[in-house]
Amino acid sequence: MNIPSTDRIERQVQLKAPRSRVWQALADAESFGAWFGVKLQGQRFVAGEYTRGNLTYPGYEDLVLEALVERIEPERYFSFRWHPYAIDREHDYADEPTTLVEFMLEDHAGGTLLRVVESGFDQIPVARRHEAYRMNSGGWEEQMHNIRRYVDTQ
């Protein structure tokens, strides 16, 4: 019996765009913000540095996405750490563990295969672990559609 993991979310999407275009959508902070739904104008993703921006989803514009960029391997791999589903305005997430979000690109017939893996949910406090996993799981489904729309129109 194959028991699904509760520690990691894995999604993938086949994009009809060259790897260079997909990479630009991921690794350029302003482009990332455009499809992901966060204001990152004037920012850059730099390994070892934080990137912060307000969400652009209606009703959540006062919330700030904060991500610590881990690794950047041009046109192949991009990763960052963040606090998953950190939307409770009254909660301080600073002392909680983060999850690792990894984007991996591969050439694929007629375009690029983009895989995203978010791992580390088993370390999130029990009181919010299930909801963070559930919401981010659905969120990654939506984000795969968002990046497809974004690269298809560029």
Contacts of 121 (CB under 8 A, 6+ apart): 6, 7, 8, 9, 84, 99, 129, 132, 133
8-153 CATH: 3.30.530.20
- Report the percentage of the chain scoring pLDDT > 70: 97
Compute CA 151 distance to the chain's CA centroid, rounded to the nearest angstrom: 16
pTM, rounded to two decimals:
0.94
Output the pLDDT for position 8. Answer: 96
pLDDT above 60: residue 1: no
pLDDT in tens, 14-29: 999 999 999 999 999 9
Output the pLDDT for position 91. Answer: 92
pLDDT in tens, 37-49: 999 999 999 999 9
Output the pLDDT for position 2. Answer: 54
Output the pLDDT for position 3. Answer: 53
Confidence of residue 13 (pLDDT cuts 50, 70, 90): very high
Contacts of 92 (CB under 8 A, 6+ apart): none
Contacts of 153 (CB under 8 A, 6+ apart): none
Q: What value does the mean pLDDT of the chain take?
A: 95
pLDDT above 80: residue 35: yes
| Closest by Cα among 3, 9, 5 to 137 | 9
